[in-house]
Amino acid sequence: MEPEAEDLVVNKSRTLYSPIEPYSTRYLKVSDVHTLYFEQSGKPDGHPVVFLHGGPGGGTSPNNRRFFDPEFYRIILFDQRGAGKSTPHACLEENTTWDLVNDIEKLREHLKIPEWQVFGGSWGSTLALAYSQSHPDKVTGLVLRGIFLLRKKEIDWFYEGGAAAIYPDAWEEFRDLIPENERGSLVDAYHKRLDSDDMETQYAAARAWTKWEMTTAYLLPNNDNIQKAEDDKFSLAFARIENHYFVNKGFFPSDSYLLDNVDKIRHIKTTIVQGRYDVCCPMMSAWDLHKTWPEADLKIVDDAGHSANEPGIAAELVAANEKMKALMG
């Protein structure tokens, strides 16, 4: 039995919950090629919530558990195809948005969960929208952060020179890996290198690609985040899988696919959290989603960039989950 709404303990400080360890860590084979790592933490008979990580290719981390009240939620984290502890690492074969949507369903069915809350930021927001539009009857609520709709103008902004207006120093390092005669499309030029037969070529491209994103992810640059680019295992999956999805336009049939299908999820209780100064996924996308879906609750964090770990964004994400608790209690 879940507690009655009036019995719920509300986290009024809106701070992250204390670190916790999972009570279960397992692997689920989802195809002849891919096996996914997944874990559960919090309350085994609590309200289920699935965390969708970013990238694609970013993988999960222990800190992701801390957005949720472990006394209320059954917290499910998993690494998407090719990411984190899932195998094979950095694999692009059978790795599309729709493969991931199907994987989420396979995981839900494997865990015998009738319906669950979905939580995702950045690429996780893209995947959360795609999943909920495909399976609206399985979603009790949505918490979305740093909206990314994978439209051409968003890719062009971040990878073809728009964001360079704000980070010209970091941009030059990203751009200069590519010879001048190949700079007509940096996404395509990086794709050629990230798909190279030479592993050192792949690693060099992966480091540069990852460093550009990690440098721009916070309002105030975070050195620990930037250092992730030096981890070749992390960078290779992050860069290869991201680039693979972007070259293929997210595997969506049209540029505005996620906006065009909002009617399928209009009834789902949703909170959108967006950093005002998000350079990776600029606020235009959250605003476009808000205009299409005014029923969703938009929270703009005026002193934040992209990362879920920035204090203002983390506070709004915790608050959004507290609000969901009250609705579901």
Report which of 174, 120, 177 is spatially closest to residue 145, judged by C-alpha positions. Answer: 120
Q: What pLDDT was estimated at residue 11?
A: 67
Q: How confident is the model at residue 9 (pLDDT cuts 50, 70, 90)?
A: low
Among this protein's residues, is 278 annotated catalytic? yes
DSSP structure string for 300-315: EETT--S-TTSHHHHH
Q: What pLDDT was estimated at residue 328?
A: 85
Give me the catalytic one of 41, 86, 122, 134: 122
Among this protein's residues, is 110 annotated catalytic? no
Among this protein's residues, is 13 annotated catalytic? no
DSSP structure string for 202-261: HHHHHHHHHHHHHHHSSSS--HHHHHGGG-HHHHHHHHHHHHHHHHTGGG-SSTTHHHHT
Look at residue 4 and tell me whether its pLDDT is greater than 50: no
Give me the catalytic one of 69, 79, 103, 278: 278
State the chain's mean pLDDT as an integer: 96
pTM score, two decimals?
0.96
Helix ranges restricted to H, 11-149: 97-110, 123-134
Q: What pLDDT was estimated at residue 8?
A: 54
Give me the catalytic one of 53, 191, 244, 306: 306
Contact 272, 290 (CB under 8 A): yes
- Return d(Cα 265, Cα 319) in angstroms, integer: 22
Q: How confident is the model at residue 308 (pLDDT cuts 50, 70, 90)?
A: very high
Look at residue 312 and tell me whether its pLDDT is greater than 70: yes
